[in-house]
Amino acid sequence: MVPAAPSAQSPEETAVGQACSLPATPQDGILRHHSGWLFPLALLALCSLLFFWRLGLTPLEDFDEAYYAEGAREMLQRGDLGTPYYNGQPFLLKPILVYWLIAGAFQLFGVTEFAARWESAFFATVIVLETYWFSARLLGARAGRRPSPGRRPLPGLLAGIALALCYLWVDTGREAMIDMPLIAALAPAMFLLFMGTQAPPERKWRCYLPAYPLLGLALLAKGPAGTFPSLAGLLGYLIWSRRLGATLREARLLPGVLLTLSVAAPWYVYESIKQPAFLHTFLVREHFGHLQGQLARTDAWWGHLKNLALGFFPWAMFLPPALVHASRADPQPAPGPQPAPGRERDFLKFCAWWATAVVVLFSLAGAKLPHYLAPAFPPAAILVAAWFDAWARGTSHTRASHGLGFALLGVTGLLIAALAVLAALMPPALRDRIASQFGAWTPGLSPVVVLAALAAGSFAAVASALAGRRQAVFPLLAAGTLIALIAYVGWFRPRLALIQSAPRKELAQLAGAVLPADEPLGVYKAKRNATIFYARRPIVDLGEWEPEKLVAFLSSPSPATALTDVQSARLLEEKAPWVQLWTRRGSFVLVSNHPLGIFERRRAVPRSAEADRDGGL
């Protein structure tokens, strides 16, 4: 049952009921002196560094980033903002919201990498602040007490820091993806729906009604597949807490559904009329294709546990004690206002249901891309933050499980340190294996710095815990992770781009600038998606496994040009000796079946240092 409102309220209790949010009071923790404006400002500065610094420096990644950026560019080029296009054809696999956001950024900033990624960086920051704002009000709440002006509980800050300082959140927040717009709408909707179960009856509508249009935006961002797992977690929590019946009666479902549909349905109806294949392509092929593992990378059933451990490191090591901490008490079904510990426990149980449902349901699907887990990260960060704060104050009662957390952190730190040593030494066998997958491998010391910082933070945190300095553990982990992430986004990724994506970008731009409009551009083993964006023209996809397609394409009597890798170009010298080499960048080349007057054979543009070292083709 939902707690009933008290029959009489003091002035302070009346003030508490005036808003949807639950009040919170300052509490002792790892840090004691803080203000309402300082914590959000600190989180904003942290996010600005992690998400916006050097955001447009590296070329677009080939898969998701290039899909969304090119879809938005072609929408603008065609003047059709209702349907995304890709390679000249309607692209019906995803809803429209991300394309609108990127197209708007292209109008403001130009068609650049920064503009394509701006929406993800912005919404990643928004979600960190949302997580702070809601957890600051839902953790540490005290019934019938007014919060001190301008004060916020510490767990909100810890939750924001934990969310911002993990690899998957930073990586996804710096790519042109649909996940951050999805979670920016979905996370506050989930928080508001939970708060509706806790609010006094006369105030519940202030929580429930704003949640419904946010769910509509989530459907516009990624559709049912991105929204359902989180809602399944809410459903599980309501069933477990015996609030399902009361919530269904009080949640104003009819106006809520209408509000949700008023946001999402117009575009879905429009697209279904304009593109009759849309519903089957999106709802059937896209969803069932991912469930069966046909449209994305597959993995074992435990694959998402690995993705969670890597993507949410180092905080994932403390999810076991955090879950134990959240599950210690039963729900509070009795009528009347709940004591603050009951509210906190219910909120933590809600977060546990939410995060677990996302991980479990996506683990049941065949496709297992790491960023599918991103909706679980805000509640997971809240769980870890609440445990850290309670453990630092000695009130967590999770002795065995927190020992497991630090043991996992120590073992993982040893593995990371071993990887750092390998990266520093870089044995020839390892270098050759990496080069066989990614091309020439010359990232310098950047991976060593990233790994060493993670290992140092892990060891320092374990040592501090063993020495009894609990309050230092979270700051030490955060410091090591921050150094690693700064080195990753500012040093390692740009160096990696110079090896992998920058050469393809240069060749694609060159081909787009000099090729006649009627001459086809083929792409073989050179990442077709980003090539379309940078060439600003359609391409012919020749795949990656059948060199006969490349030979046949260049055997055409009509002029044709292809972007491919060096190994395939060497194969062409044997099977298609008439093929002309335009130029080389890194491990990639432009070749054609005819000479171009503006180029000389093998001297079109000065070759890269890698080409000079290899002595040509």
Q: What is the pLDDT of residue 582?
A: 85
In this model, does residue 329 exceed pLDDT 80?
A: no
Q: Is 265 helix (H, G, I), strand (E, B) or coil?
A: helix
Q: Which residue has the higher pLDDT, 293 or 93?
A: 93
What does the pLDDT average to over 351-369?
93
Paired sense of beta strands 588-592 and 580-585, if any: antiparallel
Confidence of residue 567 (pLDDT cuts 50, 70, 90): confident
Q: Are 579 and 592 in contact (CB under 8 A)?
A: yes
CA torsion angle for 324, 330, 335, 337 (degrees, to 10)?
Answer: -20
> What are the start-end ranges of the H helices in 312-398?
319-326, 340-364, 377-392
Residue 611 has φ and ψ, to the nearest 5°, of: -65, -40
Q: What CA–CA distance (Å, rounded) separates 439 from 443?
A: 12
Q: What CA–CA distance (Å, rounded) separates 423 from 579?
A: 39
- What is the enclosing helix (H) or strand (E) of 521? strand 521-523
Burial class (CB in 10 A: 0-12, 13-18, 19+), 224: middle
Whole-angstrom CA distances from 77 to 71, 141, 223 are 10, 52, 25
Q: Which residue has the higher pLDDT, 368 or 175?
A: 175
Residue matched to tokens 């109008």 = 107
Burial class (CB in 10 A: 0-12, 13-18, 19+), 267: middle
In this model, does residue 105 exceed pLDDT 50?
A: yes
CA-based angle 172:372:459, to the nearest 5?
65
Q: What is the pLDDT of residue 608?
A: 39
Q: What is the pLDDT of residue 59?
A: 94
Beta bridge partners of 540: 522
Q: What is the mean pLDDT of the chain?
A: 84
From the list 6, 86, 36, 109, the residue with the least C-alpha distance to 541 is 86
- Share of residues in the chain with pLDDT > 70 (%): 83
pTM for the whole thing?
A: 0.87
What does the pLDDT average to over 138-166?
68
DSSP secondary structure, 201-256, as one string = GGGTHHHHHHHHHHHHHHHHHT-HHHHHHHHHHHHHHHHHTT-HHHHHHHS-HHHH
Q: Return the half-sphere exposure (C-beta side, CA atoms, 13 A cut-off) of residue 228.
A: 7
Residue 589 has φ and ψ, to the nearest 5°, of: -140, 160
From the list 612, 609, 606, 570, the residue with the least C-alpha distance to 591 is 570
Q: What is the pLDDT of residue 299?
A: 74
Give residue-wise pLDDT tens across range 431-473.
777 776 666 667 788 999 999 999 999 999 999 999 999 999 9
- Share of residues in the chain with pLDDT > 90 (%): 61
In this model, does residue 333 exceed pLDDT 50?
A: no
Whole-angstrom CA distances from 459 to 384, 453, 473 are 19, 10, 10
Give residue-wise pLDDT tens across range 278-308.
988 888 888 777 676 666 667 788 888 999 9
Give residue-wise pLDDT tens across range 381-438.
999 999 999 998 887 766 777 889 999 999 999 999 999 999 999 888 877 777 766 6
CA-based angle 513:518:522, to the nearest 5?
75
Paired sense of beta strands 521-523 and 561-565, if any: parallel
Q: What is the pLDDT of residue 433?
A: 77
Q: What CA–CA distance (Å, rounded) separates 216 from 222?
A: 10
Q: What CA–CA distance (Å, rounded) separates 85 from 104?
A: 16
User: How many CB atoms within 10 Å of residue 525?
Assistant: 19
Q: What is the pLDDT of residue 526?
A: 81
Confidence of residue 159 (pLDDT cuts 50, 70, 90): very high
Q: What is the pLDDT of residue 398?
A: 67
CB-based contacts of 334, cutoff 8 Å, min separation 6 = 1, 3
Confidence of residue 337 (pLDDT cuts 50, 70, 90): very low
Residue matched to tokens 């923790």 = 29
Give residue-wise pLDDT tens across range 456-515.
999 999 999 999 999 999 999 999 999 999 999 999 999 888 888 899 999 999 999 999
Q: Are 172 and 215 in contact (CB under 8 A)?
A: no
Q: What is the pLDDT of residue 611?
A: 38
DSSP secondary structure, 27-92, as one string = --SS-----TTHHHHHHHHHHIIIIITTTTSSPPPTTHHHHHHHHHHHHHHHT-SSS-EETTEE--
